[in-house]
Amino acid sequence: MTTDNSSNSPLIKVRGLCKAFTGIEALKNISVDIFQGDVAFIVGPSGSGKSTFLRCLNRLEEPTGGSIFFDGEDICDKTCNIDLHRQKMGMVFQQFNLFPHLTVMRNLTIGPMKLQNKTKEEAEAKADALLKRVGLSDRRDAYPNQLSGGQKQRIAICRSLCMNPEVMLFDEPTSALDPEMVGEVLNVMRELANEKMTMVVVTHEMGFAREVANRVFFMADGEILEENAPVAFFDHPQNERLRSFLRSVL
211-250: contacts with another protein (CB under 8 A): none
112-131: contacts with another protein (CB under 8 A): 114-115
Using CB under 8 A as the binding rule, whether residue 151 contacts another protein is answered as: no
Strand partners, 167: 89, 198
Closest to 170 in 3D by CA, of 183, 179, 161 = 161
- Over the window 46 to 75, marking each residue x when it contacts another protein by CB under 8 A and - when it does not, the resulting string is ------------x-x---------------
Q: Where are the beta strands (DSSP E) in the chain?
A: 12-21, 24-34, 39-43, 65-70, 73-74, 89-92, 167-171, 198-202, 215-220, 223-228
> With CB under 8 A as the contact rule, which of the stretches 17-25, 71-79, 159-167, 214-222 interacts with another protein?
159-167
Using CB under 8 A as the binding rule, whether residue 97 contacts another protein is answered as: yes
> With CB under 8 A as the contact rule, which of the stretches 6-14, 45-53, 156-164, 223-231 interacts with another protein?
156-164
Using CB under 8 A as the binding rule, whether residue 99 contacts another protein is answered as: yes
In angstroms, what is the minimal distance from the CB of 1 to another protein?
28
In angstroms, what is the minimal distance from the CB of 116 to another protein?
9
Among 48, 52, 151, 160, binds another protein (CB under 8 A): 160
In angstroms, what is the minimal distance from the CB of 13 to another protein?
20
In angstroms, what is the minimal distance from the CB of 12 to another protein?
15
> With CB under 8 A as the contact rule, which of the stretches 83-91, 133-141, 202-210, 218-226 interacts with another protein?
83-91
Write phi, then psi, for 131 (nearest 5 degrees): -60, -40
Residue 95's Cβ-side half-sphere holds a number of Cα atoms within 13 Å equal to 3
Using CB under 8 A as the binding rule, whether residue 12 contacts another protein is answered as: no
Closest to 193 in 3D by CA, of 208, 204, 172 = 208
C-alpha–C-alpha distance, residues 27 and 232, integer Å: 25
Of 43 and 156, the one with the shorter C-beta distance to another protein is: 156
User: Which residue type, as a one-letter code, is found at position 233?
Assistant: F
C-alpha–C-alpha distance, residues 2 and 140, integer Å: 37
Closest to 25 in 3D by CA, of 240, 215, 222, 175 = 222
Using CB under 8 A as the binding rule, whether residue 164 contacts another protein is answered as: no
User: Which residue type, as a one-letter code, is found at position 223?
Assistant: E
How many CB atoms are closer than 10 A to CB 244? 12
Site for another protein, rule CB under 8 A: 58, 60, 83-87, 89-91, 93, 95, 97-103, 110-111, 114-115, 143-146, 159-160, 163
